[in-house]
Structure 1
């Protein structure tokens, strides 16, 4: 009998092209529902070009709007926030960034200066990435410059956005492969974002393992250096170990079957990233040394068969294969 997991992945690829659909404008609510029903992404080129944020958000404007405002800043040694890091003993840990609060203008200056830095200089990397509805809270001075909702998403989903987030960093910040249980509408404001996408059906390809959790914290021995501090009380978290940009490492028997989709967002472009899609994200800065984006998170619908079907695939995979021991990696402490 043929492997049912391989058959599932092959059948999906036979029925779905390995491309991200491109639209000339944002869809209607009905058009969006068609993508939603198929759980397939699209990019709407220039759909947000008339937004005030896209027109006005240069660094001078941002500094003035956020003058004297303190914001949460994620700090990491290598731009590897929420990533897998190898410890000295070879064990793997899922590490969250060190979080600090500082005046926005100071943070923005550091991000701009960091865009000119080289990795070898040892400087830490800063990123605004709190993902906690920050645009309607700590960045509310900028919230007036974006729509309060994405109309086609609100109508199709029959609900408002659960969170609206502001992102600002430079090219040194990279988000490792992960997934979210949200319908994500992502708008690039400054610079570019580079997405690598895998559909939920390729879960068997990504080598998801349960890892202990940690956080970067200031070193008590070396001022300015960040070290991994384990959280011994936290439950282990499922993390994708396979990286589509290093396809021969940390593989599963199914990794070779993955067909990653790649798309770059330019200023004013809009991406629909469906729920539970794996995505790895890097960025390129604009002329002022920053990459800025906004995203709207809408809760996914857990009813129907989609969530249950994904859990079934996970259970089938677990039954067919015993979990491998965590492989020993050749890494440099930066994460996968």
Structure 2
């Protein structure tokens, strides 16, 4: 109650969203030169505040910025095989609606020689989309010959107080897209080629993403050789965000506005959007929701390296858990009504 007026959870969550933006987050992601950062400044101004920032000039010394072309990577990797994700549409690990049901769609996974991967990546109108997106410490584990052409961000390592738990290499084209999700890691995301477009929401805004429990399924080949979804056996469900910030048609945009009114609400601060280009690094704080799409342009493919650092399970993790629980309760009551 405020005075004699009852206040519902939705109103309080809306106020939380607005106050978080007004007090600290703002409506844009700052860009800071690495020359202005020390580990202390980085920790004080961004890590401790769980606030994203784009850092310029932080990887200018990486040989990868100049050397990593498709031909160069193929030559360095030789006959080595890498893990590749394959889908019909480029939306792996995302919600797919099929025959009236919602599935969390895992990609078909395969091992593929690097030369074959790049050849397939450049092939137009193949009807399928491939993406090197393995999150298994893939740079040292699968792309070892390239490892020495990047370097840890020493000031970030000092700020987090630990070495990276994983260093992953991402290679894909325009069609690859990552759905809204969050990670329990502090993420330093460095773009080497092409551009990445991040759409961001802070942990307080979990209610705007309309998480639903979806049946987990994976793309597999049918008898005709086409990819189709097969639910896992035994069946299991996974809560996942159902909002697509880039509906592919006007009709789907209108449907999304009806199904997800709080994501599109013009009275709420819009999601943050930031473009990260070659040579730039995004600090993506732990527990922030992010959607990622790619712009290959003349580079043919988009290449990025990210460092995952262990997050601190402190009070912000407790706040984020509460926000998740309130969001689940809010939408559960909405469906019940």
Same fold (TM over 0.5): yes
Partner of 1:240: 241
For 2:56, which of 38, 42, 45 is the aligned residue? 45
Does the alignment pair 1:169 with 2:172?
Answer: yes
Q: Which secondary structure state, in structure 2, belongs to the residue aligned with residue 50 of structure 1?
A: coil
Structure 1 residue 150, shift from structure 2 partner: 1.7
State whether residues 32 and 56 of structure 2, in contact with CA within 8 Å, keep that contact through their aligned partners in structure 1.
yes
CA RMSD of aligned residues (A): 1.9
Structure 1 residue 249, shift from structure 2 partner: 4.6
Q: Which secondary structure state, in structure 1, belongs to the residue aligned with residue 149 of structure 2?
A: coil
The 5-angstrom pairing of residues 130-279 of structure 1 reads 130-147=134-151, 149-220=152-223, 222-223=224-225, 225-245=226-246, 246=253, 248-251=257-260, 253=262, 256=265, 257-279=268-290
Structure 1 residue 285, shift from structure 2 partner: 1.3
Q: Distance in 1 between matches of 2:109 and 2:235?
A: 18
Partner of 2:3: none
Q: Which secondary structure state, in structure 2, belongs to the residue aligned with residue 172 of structure 1?
A: coil
TM-score (norm 1): 0.89
For 1:28, which of 38, 47, 51 is the aligned residue? 38
Does the alignment pair 1:290 with 2:301?
Answer: yes
Structure 1 residue 82, shift from structure 2 partner: 0.7
- Alpha-carbon spacing, 1:265–1:317, altered in 2? closer, same or farther (3 Å): closer
- Alpha-carbon spacing, 1:141–1:234, altered in 2? closer, same or farther (3 Å): farther
- Alpha-carbon spacing, 1:319–1:150, altered in 2? closer, same or farther (3 Å): same
Q: Distance in 2 between matches of 1:111 and 1:19?
A: 33
Q: Distance in 2 between matches of 1:160 and 1:104?
A: 29
State whether residues 195 and 264 of structure 1, in contact with CA within 8 Å, keep that contact through their aligned partners in structure 2.
yes
Q: Which secondary structure state, in structure 2, belongs to the residue aligned with residue 137 of structure 1?
A: helix
Q: Gaps (5+ residues) in structure 2?
A: 1-5, 247-252
Structure 1 residue 6, shift from structure 2 partner: 2.0
Q: Gaps (5+ residues) in structure 1?
A: 327-336
State whether residues 207 and 252 of structure 1, in contact with CA within 8 Å, keep that contact through their aligned partners in structure 2.
no
Q: Distance in 2 between matches of 1:61 and 1:43?
A: 28
Does the alignment pair 1:14 with 2:22?
Answer: yes
For 2:104, which of 76, 85, 94 is the aligned residue? 94
TM-score (norm 2): 0.88
Q: Distance in 1 between matches of 2:234 and 2:67?
A: 45
Write the deviation string for residues 47-88 of structure 1: whole angstroms up to 9, x where unpaired: 212211112111221011111001111000010111111112
- Alpha-carbon spacing, 1:201–1:101, altered in 2? closer, same or farther (3 Å): same
Q: Distance in 1 between matches of 2:308 and 2:261?
A: 31
Task: Give the length in aligned residue pairs.
Answer: 315
Q: Distance in 1 between matches of 2:102 and 2:298?
A: 37
